[in-house]
Chain A
Amino acid sequence: MPKKLVIPIGPQHPALKEPASFDVTLQGEKAENILVKLGYNHRGIEKACETKPYLHDSYIIERVCGICSHSHSTCFLQAVEEIANLQVPMRAKYIRSIIGEMERIHSHLLWLGVAAHEIGFDTLLMYTWRDREIVMDLLALLTGNRVNYAVNVLGGVKKDITEEDKAQILKAVDALEERTKYYIQVCQEELTLIKRLSHVGYLSHDDAVKMGAVGPTGRASSITRDTRKDDPYAAYEEVDFKVISDDHCDVYGRALVRVGELMETYSIIRQLLKKLPATPLSVPAPRIIPAGEALSRYEAPRGEDCHYVKANGTDKPERVKLRAPTLANVQAVSAMLKKGYLADVTIVIAAIDPCFSCTDRMIVAVNDGSDMTWGQLREQSINWYKKNRGVDFTKVKLKIS
């Protein structure tokens, strides 16, 4: 039996925009097994949040991700507002949704460019990124910043949308819609794109459900799940839109879902602008948040984002826990890559639109410095449970190699 070849992709690799590591075991040209290793980009944001007041936390949380910054800050603030029982004015909810949808446009266009780049189709990268500037400009106009918009505050938003802004937004959305129609046409017609992406990174519906894939990754495997529809937050209850899904189950399907979603996004923005209610922008928020806990969900461009906040009645949270969409999707990467070609690895990883800095976790092993074997670790945990919980796990059979 010849020795298997293991190719490490990452932690530093030209195709990866952030450090993450994938060990690909090869059988000929095909990948037999993939080991996903995270943890190279851990920044300790959850812990940092525990040491700062809620107001500052919203800015730290905004920096979890450079692309879906608004998603994270809205998700976090929704949780805090629920604990504090703050009634966010309707106009603020509308503005949060509008900015959120713009963020989706810029994220999906960015993804389309990155995916095109990964398959060597750089012409498409240039055009999508050029058109993405339209929405980046719009974000700069509305919020003052191109990234990390800082529009959210506890209890509402800081920036308003004026009548002139509305006209500009509508004009930009029209331009973007026209471009997106063109990209949909390109996706449906261009043979290189279709051939390169079809049957690559196959994730069956059952596997997607089993692995908990979210967002466009799940929807491309016909999971019609979208937090905006299933558990409407902000102003999504007031708008009418379709959840785009696809049954290709491959990277091509994921591309179609994303461009299809863009068209829905334009319609959502138009509906929201038309109905924008005239209420104040924010309600005064207390510094001290009463004790309590809340879990908030938000459909970020990459999928469902969950934030858990536990308050202990001071001005700082006791615990903040976030589950970014990439953590839900990254498990599925190994299933997608099984029996795939080594050359497909980069595009398959890029197809989940990974954001490792959002996701990275760290485990600290606290011991006296000596290494422990799996057997010793198990013995220690059995003893711990016997002593502290009164449960005896000795009889549980477990094969440890």
Chain B
Amino acid sequence: MKKLGALLFEAIKSLFKKPVTSDYPKKRRPIHDSVAGMIAFEQDKCIGCSICVRNCPANAIKITKVPDKEKVFSCELSLANCIFCSQCVFTCPKKALHTTDKFELAQIDKSKLTVKLEEVAPYKPETQQKPDENKTEKVNS
């Protein structure tokens, strides 16, 4: 049956529903653990093969040898370049890289966008699924 105002009933019903949008950043919607955010790094596992560097499509990741230490490597990530594609995580032969659900990574100071992963995002399996709010500096606070 063709009529006017077919959406009217739905519109009136919606008036009595809670808003769908959340009051971000005061309130946060829960996000999935699988969100591809910041990369975390397990320094003990890395063998310095640089496959991640070669496969990164955005030139975002760098592996360097830590001076004076035998077989210890440091991983530098440029958050400005990284497109969060998880290609490095997928191809790391030693599973030394992981994705985390940290996604609030904006910075006012550009230099803070290049981070040493073993310092800011060491991989700890038990704490990994919680976004670490102290570590990422919030833009508006």
A residues within 8 Å of B by Cβ? Answer: 52, 55-56, 59-60, 123-124, 127, 130, 133, 137, 140-145, 148, 150, 153, 158-159, 182, 185-186, 188-192, 194
Contacts and interface: CB of A to CB of B under 8 A. Distances in A.
B90 A158 contact: yes
B32 A141 contact: yes
Contact of B36 (A124, A144, A190): A144
A56 B60 CA distance: 13
B10 to A, nearest CB: 7
A185 B58 CA distance: 46
A189 B10 contact: no
A338 B90 CA distance: 52
Contacts of B31: 140
Contact of A123 (B7, B20, B34, B57): B7
B43 interface: no
Contacts of A192: 4
Contacts of B10: 127, 182
Given A140-B34, A145-B36, A153 B11 contact: no
Given A190-B3, A190-B4, A190-B5, 9 more contacts: A55-B87, A59-B85, A123-B7, A127-B7, A142-B34, A144-B32, A144-B84, A148-B85, A185-B6
Nearest to B56: A56
A210 to B, nearest CB: 33
Contacts of B64: none
Contacts of B20: 130, 133
29 contacts: A55-B57, A55-B87, A59-B58, A60-B57, A123-B7, A123-B11, A124-B7, A127-B10, A133-B20, A142-B34, A143-B34, A143-B36, A144-B36, A145-B35, A145-B36, A148-B83, A150-B83, A150-B85, A150-B87, A153-B90, A158-B86, A158-B87, A159-B34, A186-B6, A186-B7, A189-B3, A189-B6, A191-B3, A191-B4
Nearest to A129: B20
Contacts of A190: 2-7
Interface in B1-53: 1-7, 10-11, 14, 20, 31-32, 34-36
Contacts of B85: 59, 148, 150
A186 B32 CA distance: 33
Contacts of A127: 7, 10, 14
Contacts of A124: 7
Given A141-B34, A144-B99, A145-B36, A59 B7 contact: no
Which 5 pairs across A and B sit closest by C-beta, in order of nearness? A144-B36, A190-B6, A150-B85, A56-B57, A59-B57
B55 interface: yes
A189 B2 contact: yes
Residue of A60, A133, A145, A194 ringed by the most chain B CB atoms within 10 A: A145
A56 B6 CA distance: 49
B14 to A, nearest CB: 8
A151 to B, nearest CB: 9
A150 B36 CA distance: 10
B1 to A, nearest CB: 6
Contacts of B4: 190-192
A140 B1 contact: no
Contacts of B34: 140-144, 159
B106 to A, nearest CB: 17
Nearest to B101: A144
B2 A191 contact: yes
Interface string B46-88: 0000000001011000000000000000000000000111110
A148 B87 CA distance: 13
A70 B87 CA distance: 16
A59 B83 contact: yes
B55 A55 contact: yes
Contacts of A148: 83, 85
